[in-house]
Amino acid sequence: MFIMMNAARFAVGLEGVAISDRAYQLALAYAKERVQSRDLAGGGKPVPIIRQPDVRRMLMSMKAQGEAMRALAYVVAAAMDIAHRDPDQALRARHQAFADMMIPVVKGWSTETCIEVASTGIQVHGGMGYVEETGAAQHYRDARITPIYEGTNGIQAIDLVMRKVPMEDGAVVRAYLDEVAALGEPLGTATDPRYATMKSALTPAISALRDATEWLLSCSDPNDRLAAATPYLDLFGTVAGGAYLMRLALAAGSEVRDAWLEAKIDTAVFYANQILPRAAGRLPSVMAGAHELFAVPTAGLETAR
């Protein structure tokens, strides 16, 4: 049953990746052709909205998060293949443990992020995104179901903190944290200053994830761990997605440069500066415990007097 459910949950995570990419493609095409407002820095003539900094910010956030989701899914897919096919039994077991830990992140984080990306796509279209003519609203509706089926994202988060993080007394997750932290060395020794920017953002992010993980592993109150589940999953996915973008950027820097490879590096820099700082902000939510969730009695949840 769980073998089947893991495959289904991974597939829903991939659905989030696919919808995000389609929403981005649609928003990008629209931004290239929609002429509105003036280029204040370039002579004041009317220009396509893709020339406007705020629209460019939205498009880059869609692109960066979409590529981070895709990179995460590819890594986990490779681990699943190795777990199924490699002749080395120990290697299969290690990759299976990694895949088991990461599948709730692929499903949960990718589908939540997909909603954000699809919503941003509507915003790029403006009022046209809200009506049916462009198709942007359809992407948002398609995205909205993905956190619900094959196990709601609340269930994914609970699975992560109650079953997956404690696997092998935390050895699996700690090994993963060490692997991500090790990216700091190649990022720090690269001559291109863009990699130093990535390292500066990754260091506090991985520190926040490590602190959150150790807090969970030492927490004895199940309600406190359950209260931390959703913010922890978001923290985990944000860091993992950023780390894999940085691995892509390092690989891109080792090849003969072209515009596509340069974009991989610059997209990772954008993620480092604009998306990854969210990770540290999640740490207080993880460690807050369950008390404040129940501080207001059930009767006090009513808003009408």
Angle between helix 278-287 and 193-218 (nearest 10): 10
Token duo for residue 297: 């009695």
In one-letter notation, the amino acid at residue 206 is I
User: Taking a C-beta distance cutoff of 8 angstroms, is the pair 50, 253 a contact?
Assistant: no
Helix (H) or strand (E) run with residue 46 in it:
strand 46-48
- Cβ-based neighbour number of residue 38 at 10 Å: 13
Q: 88: which residues sit within 8 A by CB, 6+ positions away?
A: none
Please tell me which residue in 67, 133, 150, 292 is annotated as part of the active site: 150
Q: Which residues pair with 46 in a beta bridge?
A: 38
Cα distance between residue 117 and residue 238, in whole Å: 14
DSSP string of 174-199, one letter each residue: HHHHHHHHTTHHHHHH-SSHHHHHHH
In one-letter notation, the amino acid at residue 238 is T
- Cβ-based neighbour number of residue 73 at 10 Å: 24
User: Taking a C-beta distance cutoff of 8 angstroms, is the pair 224, 290 a contact?
Assistant: yes
> Does 33 qualify as catalytic in the annotation?
no
Based on its alpha-carbon atoms, the radius of gyration of the chain, rounded to whole angstroms, reads 21
> Which of 62, 60, 63, 31 lies closest to 47, judged by CA?
31
Which residues have a catalytic role annotated? 150
